[in-house]
Structure 1
Amino acid sequence: MRFFIKIVKLFLALAILSVAFYYRQPLFAGGRSLALAAIIIVGVGLILTEIIGFKKTLSAVAILAIASLALCTATGLEIKFNLAKQNVLNTDIAKLEKLGQHFIVGYRNFDEIKTLASKRAIGGVFVTARNIKNKSKQEIQQEIQTLQAIRRAQGLSPLWIATDQEGGVVSRLSPPLTKLPQLSDVLDGAKNIDQKKDKVIQYATTQGKDLSAIGVNLNFAPVVDLNKGIISPDDKFSKIYLRAISANKEIVAKVALWYCQTLEKYGVRCTIKHFPGLGRVNTDTHIADAQLHTSVAELSQDDWVPFREVMSKSSAFTMLGHARLTAVDKEHPISFSQQAIDGIIRKDWGHDGVLITDDFSMQAVYGSKDGLALATVKAINAGVDLILIAFDKDLYYEAMDALLKAEERVKLDRQMLENSQKRLQTQSESIGHF
């Protein structure tokens, strides 16, 4: 019996040690407090029981050592996180406003996001299913109005209130907003796509009215990745084949433009995603590194046609994915690649629209060799305007802390920041409906 108890204790010690190393990663975002509590309770319990009945056995020493290491690891990570958080929250408000405008942040606690808005520490808020559960349209609208009232009192431009309302499998605000099918269903296999224009506009009108009514002014749609029919067991969440409009570049370009132009009529910016196109990628950047090996020449004639068409004829934002385009930059995901962002989009294409990253909580960024902090600095220096931290809001503090320190060390490109701030100001002034 004693042997069995020792085995159980050793297993528990190893379990909390494993959790201690990883509980600050995005995987634990929804249950981080519980994970930390488990580490403390189990760790302290194991240490106390071993000390009280201490015998100089290998198992007892191992249990004490492992449990102590788990507590020390968790404590160290908590101290590191809280130091970054306090540095951000205690920073001069002018510095927070200057750099904070480059972040759109998700939340799990409304009071926390109110605090960040009050400190001028963010440029936008991401609203998703967990934020609206069991709430009416009026309740959601009231929360958004509360945040925007803070901004008005500060004399600042409104926050970007963003969501993922593509239709179909990605409809984060339905219910209570109207649940629509995926945009591809509206086309219904039409050979002459122009015959479907009215239906596409009607679809976008429904979404535009719904989003505008509750105060959302930025929608992360449409998906303009081409449907290459790739279905992979390594793709757990992206599933572009379910979300793409079509395999035909011309159809995608037309439909996406109609959609974006319609949303703009209701004061809602669209977001075309995910550059450089994830239709050819068979791994999922939510959980792993992903590479795109297609040549620039082929992408220019195919996948990039919808991006360039919508960029040139609307005020759409463009979302940068986390796949690495190996023909351009083998080291960095597109979302913080200088060669791709500044080299291709800004210089080669001459595009001066707003660029936003996909969620920096994703493993392709958080687990990259650069890590979240350096990726954030590189993204801003490459010409990114908005960094999205949607799933794990705690990462905002690490990312913002990194920018603050980079500015202190003169590691941020001033010209890039100035250009970005002009783009953001122009967009917030021209949207005209909040």
Structure 2
Amino acid sequence: MIFSKISGLKPKEKRTFSLHLSYSVIEGILAGLIALNEFVFVKSLLGSSYQVSILFQFATVVFILLIFFNEFLRRIKDKKGLLRRTAIITRLPLLLLFFFPRSPEQLTGDSVFHYIFLAIFLAYYLANPVVFPSINLFLKSAYTHENFGRLYSYATTVNKIVMMVTTFVYGWMLDADNYIFVYVFPVAAILGMFSIFLLSMIPYRECNRPEPSQTLWQGIRQSISQMSAVLRKNTPYRHFQSGFMFYGFGFMGSYTVIILFFEYGLGLNYSSVAFYRNAYNILAIAMLPFFGKLIGRIDPRRFATISFLSMVVFIFSLIMTRYVDGYADIFGIRIYYTMLGYIFFHGIFAATMSLIWSIGSAYFCAPSEAGIYQSIHLGLTALRSLFAPLLGVLFYELWGFTVAFSIAIAMLLTGSLIMLWSEKNYPLIKKERTKPAVTSKTSDLPLEE
């Protein structure tokens, strides 16, 4: 079906799309496994609430390195070789999970295996500051502007479908054997290396650039200075990032608490968690075409507000589950009636956030500035990830689930108000919004989705 819609492509685009689609399929499998990672850490490995928040932090905090990597990546000529070395260094440690114990008696207390698990996935996520900018660079050079959006959306749709199916199957496997991950992740290590190798095969020719006159550290300082100047001078974008800062604290602060709520608040099995974590993706896939058109027609700050408020509603649905009885058990999956709102509004959130998080920054700048604007976005994401997940767990430890979720809702509402106020007082010129400097989506699911 997808290939029937891609007629008229140049040979380079066809080859690129074939590689891009294959990469997206494999990354969908990996994303489906990672989707249950925090719950595996809590339920099977018996990790603490603070340790699981640190595991979640790793996915985003590594983007602080972009401040330094941007200049390094700009200078390095063998980008394909760098990708392949990164694949081996960051994916190979997953093989160590094969040697993990398969009984709770060896994992109780402050087990050394908790820290080894965290170290393995820190290494895994360290690939992202190299891989994500490379995806952006390779695809923008291989796809024409006219075809970029549709080809990327096809690959993203397939990625989400594969991820969803993988998560459901993996959840069932974990219910049958809580320690099946010791066999699954070594296979994922091989797949992870192969997927990045596929990415490195996308046709790309490095432009001949003069040798930089500055040293690497001078270039890094200049890059930081450029980022600071953008936030000072571009007022609408500064407001956009301010709203996202509050959103990020709400999202990251509640993410780990939701995992803990599934285990300690609802006592769900793996199949149920897989259902709640990914059923919304069916809705997201159906809604993506609609929201993909909408984001180009309205101000990105208003679009972000739709995403933030949808998260408010699905968190409120979680709160209501504590106070409203009623559920049904279907094929081993416990479905709470109040959680139907969680699924529906999480679907809206997933569809909208996958767009605004990935390409929202591009609506505030010229095409030539897309890289620096997305780097600012990722850098600020990493900055808030240093504090937000741990604060969320702290609020839960001090006051319980309801208060922790309520604080997250307050953060999201504040971010929404900032976005709406900014749109009203600092409108964007329409033509600047209709042709964004599209940057590639940095992951199957955004780091803050």
Question: Relative contact order (C-alpha < 8 Å, sep 6+): which is higher?
Answer: 2
TM-score exceeds 0.5: no
Bigger fraction of residues in strand: 1
Give the number of the structure whose alpha-carbon radius of gyration is greater.
1
Bigger fraction of residues in helix: 2
